[in-house]
């Protein structure tokens, strides 16, 4: 059993506050991903959990015990660094056993664990090499192995795949996933790549400017983003946002008059909004359909088409000059310069956000 | 005709593509002359160090250690010098010189020892043989010299002790400080760095007197520790190591912290091995400083039991002008360790020093 | 300096390095116990102070404190090494050093001032002559070594080698060479005698006439009016003129003419007492020479590193632009080398100002006071003779430190300006 809880954790560097009170509870065995744009404080948060950075206020609890003042070495966690941070002057074997030696683990036990980790990560042949003699992917595995042998309560990963090429990244993603399956430990994984987040996480914590924007299962984030930021961050390509004003508020839906012309209905709770209030309509590119008939919600002047074979993208501008992207299945005849009519998704797949606060209008219960 | 392009191709680094230019010849000639100027004096001293005292006094300009051949006199009481006698008819014979008589010399032919003849001294030429005198080296070191004024082994041991101990202490003490100043944040750190860097500018030669008083107050006069300790905390070392340690990523230390290593262990097992390039530069510098150090030992050490080689040598030079053969031999022994180290680590030393600009 | 990646390329398994590594680890583990306990007690961050402590202790006691003490001692008199026993004399020491009718003539100073000013002027002379010579020679050597020279490593190593030698060894070597009955005098004597006998030989006379003829012919060509040139060039070439003259000389000599170059004869060589001769500048000359000999390699190395740090593509770009090479030297090499040059200049100046070891062992400051440098004055005031005048030495140090500080500040501003501009 290892659980982790953050209670109103803040961090201040000198005069600048970079983490603004984060609450987070993580259960045993969960795979949690911290995601957010660069500089939002993911690493800082992770390092505070690790004990490498003292928290300014608030509490970090591991297994219900406050560990704010417990040094990193004694928290029983292991971390995989973005740069791997392998000891360049030690062989792979020494890299793996260094931590265990510090804990005065008996020799045979060290050997057993190193051998097991090496087998698990398929690096038995690399044990006598030094990090400088390994490829990027192999170094990555050693870094993970160094964490594995410690049998930590919680694994911490700080963007471990960002130095790898695309193909290797996919492969290592799968391996880390398998590792989690096999070990069943709690893992916290930092990335700024939302694809990584979506594919690996049990739950995702979306951070922005030192604040927790939303914390939930990947599909919940996709289906019910709590605000403009999460909506824009989760999903690829990005969700389109169209400005408009509330035209009418009904029982279970809201009519929105778009700046780009046309009115669309969004089923949601009005949440106290009044007619005339500015809103943003969110529509994912994959939910938009082409139409030539009169039922078109908006008209798009195409400025660029991307044909990937299996799918196509249209990029263009609406009459309000707002940019919009569309994803189409298969191949398309539409060319640059064409004007096409669009239907903005099924009503259930439309998202409405408060134009001032960016908060999502709550979906119908 | 010397044109500007000729001069300039001399100054810029690219050689003309058409084989050898005259500037190339000039370059090599320059270098060769320079090398002779460097090596010949040392070589001459080396060759002189295996010559006999007599050859040294006579200032024999020949390179090789020539010595006059001698044979024992018939009664065995003394050694007789051997000469080559050019007879009036032009033939030559080896003769032993028994004694002078006026402008003539009394000699006997080696082939015929019983018959002593008189020959004009101008017809005699010394018969020299090559005879290196290794006693110049062995007498003051392992032999039993009549006067043990130059106690080479003692001085050598003192110098070695000072060099090795001082270098080890310098490395450890400065690496510890550099580690603290490069990898920790604490109040006053930047001020401390500034103080240390600015003392780089103050030459130790200007604090001789107070330093002497401090050392004498601590009872370290005439002790090798009085030579070693004052200079182990060298700003140069801290500066050099700190600059290097700054380039070692912090993540490595954090990884070690996660791995449960204590701060000391991080220093010992991570920082020191990774700073090896900088440490070896400092080690080389320290060995050079310490082995060659003269002024400070001269002030601290006044009893010959604690003399370093440099002190012993300079004292010996002052004392014994007629023992030049010992002095030269001991000088060779003194420069030998440095030379050997240089021959083996030449590349390392020159690049290390060129990179740091320190001596 | 290179990063850490280099060493990671070394193979991991090696019996010797394994053994060293093992011993290293053991030593670290043994020491780890107490340090770990300490860390538990004071926290990881405070360990920084623990790491600093030994250095600060030594540094404070043997560098910082003496610096302050020096000022105090400069105002005290007496011969005691115990501070409490030293009477305060105010500016007395400084007065003794500075109370001169004329600084240019040290003889007018009190005893201490005489020694001080002699040292100052000798040191100044030494520095002003030695530094430019050494820097220029070092620069020329570095430039040559920076060309496409074969065996650069070898040349560089040989030039650097004297830097490794101790000042005492250097002094013994040169003392041995420069003795009155030393090899230098022997060689010069041989050379003089050789020359004097060479000029009396006939081949020498003929060859000389030939050479004179050759150069005279060329000179003639230069001053000849342009109109007449074609005639002269086809009829008499300088070579022919020279050959003709030579043949005539040879014939004359065969006929018994006493044609001779005796006037070229050098006076008989009289051995010079290079280091002791009081009536000549030779002792100072050799002090400068020997010091340069011993330290040249260091500055050469720094300048060479500076030259090699200039990116080669700059020269290639200049070549593409059709820049003449001399221009490339003046406009690329020199400006880019300037920062290194300034470092070298000031460093060598500061070092020259502190010269002591080599000179002290070589000449002992003699003959008389001819090569007595300022640091020798400090040293001798405090440590030589019956009267140990620590106060005078300290006061002199303060003055010297002032001079050195000014030099250093010049260096700093110069380098700053370079870096900024
Ligand atoms: N030691 C520090 N001192 C001052 N500010 C810091 C320090 N470390 C981080 N910051 C600031 O805190 C903020 C969060 O940094 P952090 O490294 O946590 O970002 P991140 O989310 O990990 O970004 P990335 O995805 O680029 O790694 C940044 O604005 C950064 O500039
Ligand atoms: Mg980060």
Q: Whose CA is nearest to atom 14 of ligand 1?
A: A41
Q: Which chain A residues touch B262 with a CB distance below 8 Å?
A: 73, 102
Whether ipTM exceeds 0.85: no
pLDDT computed for residue A193 by the predictor:
86
A270 vs C348 pLDDT, higher one = C348
Class of domain B150-355: mainly alpha
Quick check: CB of A41 below 6 Å from ligand 1?
yes
Closest CA in chain A for residue C7: A89
Alpha helices by DSSP H, listed for chain B, are 4-11, 22-48, 53-58, 135-141, 152-183, 189-199, 208-217, 224-228, 235-245, 250-258, 263-265, 272-274, 276-292, 295-300, 309-319, 324-356
User: What 3-state DSSP class applies to B143?
Assistant: coil
Reference B331, options B155, B143, B133; nearest CA is: B155
Burial class (CB in 10 A: 0-12, 13-18, 19+), C40: exposed
Q: Is the pLDDT of residue C228 over 90?
A: no
Return mean pLDDT, chain A: 89
Return the pLDDT at B179: 95
Contacts of residue C46, Cβ cutoff 8 Å, sequence gap at least 6: B186
Assess whether C338 and C414 both reside in one domain: yes
Is residue A357 within a helix (H) or strand (E), and if so which, with residue range? none
DSSP H/E element including A318: none
Please write the tens of the pLDDT for every residue from A129-157.
Answer: 999 889 888 898 899 999 989 888 899 99
Contact C152, C300 (CB under 8 A): no
A192 lines ligand 1 (CB under 6 A): yes
Q: Give mean pLDDT, residues C399-414.
A: 80
Q: Atom 17 (ligand 1): residue with closest C-alpha?
A: A43
Q: Which residues pair with A324 in a beta bridge?
A: A316
Residue C313 sits at the chain B interface (C-beta within 8 Å): no
Asked if B160 reaches chain C (Cβ–Cβ under 8 Å), the answer is no
Distance CA C406, CA C325 (A): 38
Q: Quick check: C91 pLDDT over 60?
A: yes
Looking at residue A238, the DSSP 8-state letter turns out to be P
> Is C7 an interface residue toward A (CB < 8 Å)?
yes
**Is residue C366 assigned to a domain?**
yes
Q: Does B190 touch chain A (CB under 8 A)?
A: no
Domain boundary among C264, C290, C318: C264
Dihedral angle of Cα A232, A235, A240, A241, to the nearest 10 degrees: -30
Q: What is the DSSP string of C216-279?
A: HHHHHHHHS-GGGHHHHHHH--HHHHHHHHHHHHHHHHHTT-----GGGPPPPP----TTT-TT
**Model confidence pLDDT, tens digit, residues C260-280:** 677 777 788 888 888 888 888
- The answer to whether the Cβ–Cβ distance between A132 and C13 falls below 8 Å is no
For A360, which DSSP code? B
Is the domain of C241 the same as that of C369? Answer: no
What is d(CA A72, CA A79) in angstroms, rounded to the nearest whole number?
A: 10
Instruction: Indicate whether C391 and C251 sit together in one domain.
Output: no
Assess if residue C380 is contained within a domain: yes
Which of A41, A83, A206 should be mutated for ligand 1, with most atoms under 8 A from CB? A41
Does residue B7 surpass a pLDDT of 70? Answer: no
User: Do C316 and C171 share a structural domain?
Assistant: yes
- pLDDT for residue A1: 63
With a 6 A CB cut-off, is A38 part of the ligand 1 pocket? Answer: yes
Indicate whether B8 pLDDT > 60. no
Mean pLDDT of chain B: 83
CA distance A54 to chain B (A): 13
Domain coordinates of chain B in residue numbers? 70-126, 150-355
Q: Which of C218, C233, C264 represents a domain boundary (last residue)?
A: C264
For residues C154 and C205, membership in a common domain is answered with no
Q: Is the CB of A42 under 6 A from ligand 1?
A: yes
Same domain as C170, residue C99: yes
Contact C391, C320 (CB under 8 A): no
- What per-residue string of b and e applies to B106-144 under the rule 16 or more CB within 10 Å gives b? ebbbeeeeeeeeebeeebbeebbeebebebbbebbbeee
**3 state DSSP class of C47:** helix
- Expressed as residue numbers, the domain containing C164 is 85-180+279-420
In a domain, C16, yes or no: no
Do C168 and C302 fall within a single domain?
yes
> For residue range B226-271, what is the model confidence (pLDDT) as tens digits?
999 998 988 888 988 998 899 899 999 999 999 988 899 999 999 9
Give Cβ neighbours of residue C311 (< 8 Å, ≥ 6 apart). Answer: none
C305 and C403 both lie in a single domain: yes
Q: Specify the ligand 1 atom closest to the Cα of A45.
A: 18
Nearest CA in chain C to B61: C183
Cβ contacts of A91 on chain C, cutoff 8 Å = 12-13
pLDDT digits (tens, 9 = 90+) for C205-219: 778 888 887 888 777
Residues in chain C closer than 8 A to B244 (CB atoms): 1
Q: Per-residue pLDDT for B27 more than 70?
A: yes
C295 shares a domain with C385: yes
**pLDDT value of position B145:** 57
Q: For A256-295, how does the pLDDT look when each residue is reduced to its tens digit (9 = 90+)?
A: 888 888 888 888 887 677 888 899 999 999 998 888 777 7
Distance A43 CA to ligand 1 centre (A): 7
| pLDDT tens digits, one per residue of C120-156 | 999 999 999 999 999 999 999 999 998 888 888 889 9
Answer whether C4 sits within 8 Å of A133, measured CB to CB: no
Nearest chain B Cα to C158, which residue?
Answer: B35
What domains are defined for chain A? 4-226 (3.40.50.300), 237-354 (2.40.50.140)
Ligand 1: which residue has its CA nearest to atom 16?
A: A41
Nearest to B355 by CA among C306, C343, C416, C143: C306
- Matching fold, domains B70-126 and B150-355: no
Task: Judge if C404 and C295 occupy the same domain.
Answer: yes
- pLDDT at position B169, please? 94
Instruction: Report pLDDT for C134.
Output: 95
- How many structural domains compose chain C? 2
Taking only the tens place, the pLDDT of each residue in C363-394 is: 988 788 889 999 999 999 888 877 888 888 89
Q: Does residue C47 lie within any of the structural domains? A: no
Position C5 confidence tier, pLDDT thresholds 50, 70, 90? very low
User: Tokens 């008996």 label which residue?
Assistant: A106
Q: Does domain B70-126 have CATH number 3.30.70?
A: no
Neighbours of chain A (3+ CB pairs under 8 A): B, C
List Cα–Cα distances, C315 to B9, B146, C17, C323, in angstroms.
12, 66, 44, 9
Which residues, numbered 121 to 180 in chain C, qualify as contacts with chain B under a Cβ-Cβ cut-off of 8 Å?
Answer: 140-141, 143-149, 153, 155-169, 171-177, 179
Say if C274 falls within a structural domain: no
Q: Of A146, A156, A150, A157, which is closest to residue A93 (Cα–Cα)?
A: A146
If one counts every other C-beta atom within 10 angstroms of the C-beta of residue A23, the result is 12
Task: Evaluate if residue C41 carries a pLDDT over 80.
Answer: yes
The interface residues of chain C toward chain A in range 32-61, judged by CB-CB distance below 8 A, are 44
Is there a domain that residue C28 lies in? no
**What whole-number percentage of chain C has pLDDT above 70?**
90
CB B48 within 8 Å of CB C176:
yes
- Is A70 within 8 Å of chain B by CB? no
**C152 domain-assigned:** yes
C403 and C291 in a common domain: yes
| Bridge partner residues of A19 (DSSP) | A11
A74 at interface of B, judged by CB pairs closer than 8 A: yes
Instruction: Reply yes or no on whether the pLDDT at B213 is more than 80.
Output: yes
Ligand sitting nearest the alpha carbon of A18: 1
Is there a domain that residue C378 lies in? Answer: yes
Q: Does B350 touch chain C (CB under 8 A)?
A: yes
Same domain, C300 and C171: yes
- C8 CB near a chain A CB, below 8 Å? yes
What residues of A are in contact with residue B265 (Cβ under 8 Å)?
102
Does residue C417 or residue B273 have the better pLDDT? Answer: B273
Atom of ligand 1 nearest to the CA of A46: 18
């Amino acid at each position: 059993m290892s659980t982790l809880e953050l209670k109103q954790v803040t961090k201040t560097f000198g005069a600048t506050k970079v983490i603004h009170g984060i609450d987070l509870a993580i259960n045993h065995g969960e795979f949690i991903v911290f995601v957010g744009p660069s500089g939002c404080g993911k690493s800082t948060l992770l390092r505070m959990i690790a004990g490498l950075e003292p928290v300014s206020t608030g509490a970090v609890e591991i297994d219900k015990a406050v560990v704010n003042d417990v040094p990193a070495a004694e928290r029983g966690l292991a971390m995989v660094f973005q740069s791997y941070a392998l000891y360049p002057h030690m062989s792979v074997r020494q890299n793996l056993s260094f931590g265990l030696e510090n804990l005065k683990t008996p020799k045979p036990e060290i050997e057993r664990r190193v051998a097991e980790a090496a087998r698990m990560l398929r690096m038995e042949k690399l044990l006598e090499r030094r990090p400088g003699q390994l490829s990027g992917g192999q170094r990555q595995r050693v870094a993970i192995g160094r964490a594995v042998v410690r049998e930590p309560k919680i694994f911490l990963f700080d963007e471990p795949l960002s130095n790898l090429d695309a193909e290797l990244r996919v492969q290592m993603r799968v391996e880390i996933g398998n590792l989690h399956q096999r070990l069943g430990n709690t893992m916290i994984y930092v990335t700024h790549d939302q694809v990584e987040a979506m594919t690996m996480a049990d739950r995702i914590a979306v951070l922005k400017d030192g604040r927790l924007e939303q914390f939930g299962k990947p599909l919940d984030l996709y289906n019910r983003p709590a605000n403009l930021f999460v909506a824009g961050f989760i999903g690829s390509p990005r969700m389109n946002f169209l400005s408009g004003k509330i035209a009418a508020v009904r029982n279970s839906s809201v009519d929105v008059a778009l700046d780009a012309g046309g009115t669309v209905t969004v089923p949601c709770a009005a949440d106290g909004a009044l007619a005339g209030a500015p809103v943003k309509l969110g529509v994912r590119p994959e939910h938009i359909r082409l139409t030539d008939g009169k039922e078109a919600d908006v008209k798009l002047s195409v400025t660029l088409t991307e044909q990937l074979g299996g799918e196509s993208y249209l990029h263009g501008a609406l009459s309000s000059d707002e940019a919009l992207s569309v994803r189409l299945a298969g191949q398309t005849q539409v060319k640059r310069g064409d004007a096409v009519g669009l239907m903005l998704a099924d009503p259930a797949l439309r998202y409405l956000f408060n134009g001032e606060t960016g908060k999502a209008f709550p979906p119908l219960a | 005709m010397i044109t500007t392009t000729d001069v300039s191709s001399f100054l810029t680094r690219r050689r003309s593509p058409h084989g050898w230019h005259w500037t190339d010849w000039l370059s090599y000639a320059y270098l060769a002359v320079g090398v002779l100027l460097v090596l010949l004096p040392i070589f001459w001293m080396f060759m002189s160090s295996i010559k006999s005292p007599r050859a040294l006094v006579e200032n024999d300009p020949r390179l090789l250690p020539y010595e006059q051949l001698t044979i024992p006199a018939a009664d065995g009481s003394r050694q007789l010098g051997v000469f080559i006698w050019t007879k009036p008819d032009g033939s030559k014979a080896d003769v032993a010189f028994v004694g002078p008589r006026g402008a003539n010399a009394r000699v006997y032919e080696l082939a015929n020892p019983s018959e002593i003849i008189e020959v004009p001294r101008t017809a005699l030429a010394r018969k020299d043989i090559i005879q290196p005198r290794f006693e110049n080296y062995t007498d003051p070191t392992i032999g039993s010299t009549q006067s043990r004024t130059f106690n080479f082994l003692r001085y050598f041991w003192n110098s070695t002790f000072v060099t090795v101990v001082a270098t080890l202490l310098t490395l450890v003490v400065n690496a510890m400080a550099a580690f603290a100043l490069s990898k920790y944040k604490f109040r006053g750190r930047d001020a401390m760095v500034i103080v240390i860097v600015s003392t780089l500018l103050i030459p130790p030669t200007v604090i001789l007197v107070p330093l002497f008083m401090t050392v004498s107050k601590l009872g370290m006069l005439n002790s090798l520790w009085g030579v070693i300790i004052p200079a182990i905390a060298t700003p140069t070392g801290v500066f050099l190591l700190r600059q290097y340690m700054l380039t070692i990523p912090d993540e490595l230390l954090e990884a070690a912290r996660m791995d449960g290593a204590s701060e000391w262990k991080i220093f010992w097992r991570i920082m020191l091995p990774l700073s090896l390039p900088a440490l070896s530069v400092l080690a080389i510098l320290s060995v050079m400083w310490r082995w060659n150090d003269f002024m400070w030992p001269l002030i601290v050490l006044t009893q010959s039991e604690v003399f370093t080689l440099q002190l012993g040598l300079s004292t010996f030079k002052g004392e014994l002008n007629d023992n030049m053969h010992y002095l030269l031999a001991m000088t060779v022994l003194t420069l030998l360790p440095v030379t050997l180290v240089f021959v083996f680590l030449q590349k390392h030393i020159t690049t290390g020093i060129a990179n740091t600009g320190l001596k | 300096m290179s990063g850490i990646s280099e060493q990671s390329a070394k193979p991991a398994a090696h019996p010797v390095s394994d053994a060293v590594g093992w011993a290293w680890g053991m030593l670290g583990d043994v020491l780890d116990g107490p340090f770990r306990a300490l860390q538990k007690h004071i926290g990881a961050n405070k360990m920084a102070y623990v790491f600093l402590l030994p250095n600060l202790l030594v540094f404070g006691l043997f560098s910082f404190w003496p610096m302050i003490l020096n000022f105090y001692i400069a105002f005290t008199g007496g011969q005691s090494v115990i501070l409490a026993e030293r009477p305060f004399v105010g500016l007395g020491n400084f007065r003794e050093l500075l109370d001169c009718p004329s600084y240019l003539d040290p003889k007018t100073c009190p005893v201490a001032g005489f020694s001080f000013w002699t040292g100052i002027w000798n040191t100044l002379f030494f520095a002003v002559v030695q530094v430019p010579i050494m820097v220029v020679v070092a620069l020329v050597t570095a430039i040559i070594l920076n060309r496409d020279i074969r065996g650069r490593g070898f040349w560089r190593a040989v030039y650097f080698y004297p830097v490794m030698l101790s000042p005492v060894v250097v002094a013994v070597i040169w003392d041995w060479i420069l003795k009155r009955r030393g090899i230098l005098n022997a060689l010069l004597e041989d050379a003089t005698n050789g020359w004097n006998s060479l000029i009396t030989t006939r081949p020498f006379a003929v060859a000389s006439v030939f050479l004179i003829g050759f150069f005279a012919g060329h000179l003639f060509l230069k001053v000849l009016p342009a109109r007449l040139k074609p005639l002269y060039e086809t009829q008499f070439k300088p070579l022919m003129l020279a050959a003709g003259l030579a043949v005539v000389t040879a014939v004359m000599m065969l006929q018994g003419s006493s044609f001779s170059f005796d006037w070229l004869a050098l006076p008989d060589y009289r051995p010079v007492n290079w280091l002791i001769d009081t009536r000549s500048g030779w002792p100072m000359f050799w002090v400068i020479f020997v010091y340069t000999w011993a330290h040249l390699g260091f500055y050469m190395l720094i300048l060479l590193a500076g030259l090699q740090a200039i990116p080669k593509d700059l020269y290639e770009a200049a070549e593409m632009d059709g820049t003449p090479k001399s221009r490339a030297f003046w406009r690329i090499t020199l400006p880019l080398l300037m920062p290194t040059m300034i470092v070298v200049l000031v460093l060598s100046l500061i070092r020259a100002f502190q010269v002591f070891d080599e000179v002290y062992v070589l000449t002992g400051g003699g003959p008389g006071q001819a090569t007595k440098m300022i640091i020798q004055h400090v040293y001798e005031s405090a440590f030589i003779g019956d009267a140990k005048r620590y106060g005078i030495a300290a006061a002199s140090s303060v003055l010297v430190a002032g001079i050195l500080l000014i030099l250093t500040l010049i260096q700093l501003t110069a380098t700053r300006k370079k870096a900024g501009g």
